[in-house]
Amino acid sequence: MRSKLFVPGSRPELFAKALAGAADSISFDVEDSVPENSKAYAREQVAEFLRSRAVKDSAKSFIVRINAPGYVPSMSYDNRPYVEDQTTNGPTILQPPVLNALAVNNGRTLDPMDGLAFIEVRDCNDEPGDGVRFDPIGMETPFYFDGALPSRNLELTAISTQLAANSQPRAVSGFSNLAPTFTTFRGVLPETGDVVGTFTAQIRSGQITYVRLRAGY
């Protein structure tokens, strides 16, 4: 993703112009840039636009910015093919052993028509965010890293120093075999039930969606 255009969700007259523009990604804000009495309207307008044929036929990436309760998390992501080009701007986790482990853990091979999502969690101090659980997406349960390979036997994010060449500590979760569509992810603290981050990202066929989430805790 080379460029991203931010658009207030309460300004639907700008949506088509943004779609026709040169930016690789469009980020719709339904929070800080929208007056309180217009937030419901903004959500409705963005949802309607994202269901349109023009969006479905577009090669752009789309982001909907949603705040966690009591906090404004930051979120960024990029899409990269996981079959042809195993690279990402995030941790160096797109290696054959990782993909093989995901297939074994999931009980089936990775479908190139589906997508993968990796979620790196950072807390409000920009430290690795351990202890966060992500809700299942349909029948897909999340995996977590506590070493170099993902595991579905874990239930929470854990800190690993084996996910980057410089041994930088990271807390990473994710999902495999996700349908190519706009998908909403939610992270919670199990002990309190507090939601620390909710975001929607576009999943693409045969690609890895890498998300860095600044959680609200």
Q: What local confidence, expressed as pLDDT, does residue 156 receive?
A: 96
Q: Is 139 helix (H, G, I), strand (E, B) or coil?
A: coil
Alpha helices in 21-76 (DSSP H): 39-50, 53-56
According to DSSP, the β-strands at 61-65 and 25-29 are parallel
pLDDT of 90 above 60: no
Q: What local confidence, expressed as pLDDT, does residue 138 receive?
A: 86
Q: What local confidence, expressed as pLDDT, does residue 181 receive?
A: 86
CA distance 118 to 129: 14
Q: What local confidence, expressed as pLDDT, does residue 1 receive?
A: 57
Q: Give the mean pLDDT of 96-112.
A: 66
Q: What local confidence, expressed as pLDDT, does residue 129 receive?
A: 92
Whether 187 contacts 213, CB under 8 Å: yes
Q: What would the pLDDT profile of 111-130 be if each residue is shown by its tens digit?
A: 778 888 888 898 877 889 99
Q: What would the pLDDT profile of 46-74 be if each residue is shown by its tens digit?
A: 999 999 999 989 989 898 877 644 333 43
Q: Is 54 helix (H, G, I), strand (E, B) or coil?
A: helix
Q: What local confidence, expressed as pLDDT, does residue 70 receive?
A: 39
**Three-state DSSP string of 67-88:** CECCECCCEEEEEEECCCCCCC
**11 pLDDT band (50/70/90 cuts)?**
very high
Q: Give the mean pLDDT of 202-208.
A: 79
Return mean pLDDT, the chain: 79
Provide the total of helices (H) and of strands (E) in the chain, helices listed first. Answer: 4, 13
Q: What would the pLDDT profile of 140-188 be if each residue is shown by its tens digit?
A: 889 998 888 888 889 999 999 887 767 788 899 989 888 888 888 889 9
**211 pLDDT band (50/70/90 cuts)?**
confident
Q: What local confidence, expressed as pLDDT, does residue 94 receive?
A: 56
Q: Is 167 helix (H, G, I), strand (E, B) or coil?
A: coil
